[in-house]
Structure 1
Amino acid sequence: MNLAYPLILGSKSPRRKEILEKAGFQFTAEAKDTEETYPSDLPLKEVAAFLAEKKAKAFLADKKYADKIILTADTTVLIDNQLLEKPQDAIEAFAMLKKLSGRKHQVVSGFCLLHKGEIIKFSDETIVHFSTMEDEIIHEYIKNHQPFDKAGAYGIQEGIGLTHIDKLEGSYFTVMGLPIHLVYKALRALK
């Protein structure tokens, strides 16, 4: 899709980059380091969009982005009214995957568009159903895929994401990290 302004993907995620490329967008990727903190009283389903907005605001101060469209995103995993963030180590990753094993959970991907100083944010939710995973399968996945940059300690496009997800209620790409169907509509609406 041709846009009236250059598109910047404000993310280091290779998955988000891949989704945008496959959707046919021309863009450059340029992330700003942002502390991924949020208010403790923020409803958990709003955290992803809040963090996406925070990442977009990091571009506001630099005038070189004034005539560009900035797209930022964040993904969260929720189970038992608890947020599973990026695991710090293999022990934490194992505990997260053990909790997800044989159960369903929510993945919320939020994204934000910054254009001409205006910020618009969206989020999308998908319910993911995991089959039961044996301990050895979890350990092998962590060893082979090092899922320390992924909320909930897994990627839908690799390993146990491919072999142990029984069903999705919602968008595959929301789980991967960017609800491209909503991104497309939001970008088309920009003037």
Structure 2
Amino acid sequence: MQRVVLASGSPRRKQLLEWAEVPFEVMVANTDESYPANITAIQDIPVYIARNKAAAVQHKVKDRNIIAADTIVVLHNEVIGKPIDREHAIEILQRLSGQNHLVITGVVIKSGEKEIAFADITEVSFHELTTEQITFYVDKYKPYDKAGAYAIQEWIGVVGIKSINGDFYNVMGLPVSRVVQALNDLHHVSSDSF
């Protein structure tokens, strides 16, 4: 497989591509993670942000595939971003406690002028969490760089999540099997075009 560029500093996305044995290098450019208010379909939000991440590194990359991704958490049609501090992280987890929410990862894969873009959606259900569980998790794991203030592969996911419907790895930050399929499709399309 052709070496790819991961336009993300996320250690989880890096780990998932390593597990999939996709050869890659990380190249990150700081990008604005805001989005226009007129985006009507909520799953288009992370795709929009991922597209900006891909565009930010594209001028530095020649003849390689770029993978960019962004993950959001959605509770009752409201986008829950990354917590700004300890109190905000606790408040977010209190809101998610006992509820179902969606984790949506937008992925953009670019190869020259070609682009594959999609959103992968996983439904996650939390048990009722106690204040003690929430504060223990926030104080020990400091989930300030994570949408929804949690990581499914950490303690809170092990003890707090009742069920998931969809791709587990999507909740970690990258629907990696779908990404590998898309890379194969892109390579196949590129081969056929000669």
Fold equivalence (TM over 0.5): yes
- Verify the 8 A CA contact 1:66 1:115 in the aligned structure 2: no
1:31 maps to 28
Question: Which of residues 105, 108, 132 is equivalent to 1:112?
Answer: 108
1:174 maps to 170
Structure 1 unaligned runs (5+)? none
Structure 1 position 13 matched with structure 2 position 6 = no
RMSD over aligned Cα atoms: 1.0
Tell me how far apart the structure 1 counterparts of residues 151 and 163 of structure 2 sit (CA, whole Å): 15
1:162 to partner: Cα distance: 1.5
- 1:92-117 per-residue CA deviation (whole Å, 9 max, x = no partner) reads 11111000001110000111111113
- Verify the 8 A CA contact 2:27 2:57 in the aligned structure 1: no
- 1:18-72 per-residue CA deviation (whole Å, 9 max, x = no partner) reads 000001111111111101010012132211111111101112333xx12111101
- 1:130-166 per-residue CA deviation (whole Å, 9 max, x = no partner) reads 0010001101100011100000000000021111111
Structure 2 unaligned runs (5+)? none
2:185 maps to 189
Question: Which of residues 59, 64, 67 is equivalent to 2:63?
Answer: 67
- Verify the 8 A CA contact 1:32 1:59 in the aligned structure 2: yes
State percent identity of aligned pairs.
37
Tell me how far apart the structure 1 counterparts of residues 58 and 118 of structure 2 sit (CA, whole Å): 18
Tell me how far apart the structure 2 counterparts of residues 143 and 44 of structure 1 sit (CA, whole Å): 31
TM superposition score normalised by structure 1:
0.94
- Verify the 8 A CA contact 2:69 2:108 in the aligned structure 1: yes
- Verify the 8 A CA contact 1:76 1:83 in the aligned structure 2: yes
**What amino acid is aligned across from residue 55 of structure 1 in structure 2?**
K
Tell me how far apart the structure 2 counterparts of residues 75 and 20 of structure 1 sit (CA, whole Å): 16
After TM superposition, what 4+ stretches of structure 1 lie above 4 angstroms from structure 2?
A: none
Structure 1 position 99 matched with structure 2 position 95 = yes
1:132 maps to 128
Structure 1 position 161 matched with structure 2 position 157 = yes
**What amino acid is aligned across from residue 183 of structure 1 in structure 2?**
V
**What amino acid is aligned across from residue 164 of structure 1 in structure 2?**
G
- Verify the 8 A CA contact 2:46 2:69 in the aligned structure 1: yes
Tell me how far apart the structure 1 counterparts of residues 153 and 120 of structure 2 sit (CA, whole Å): 18
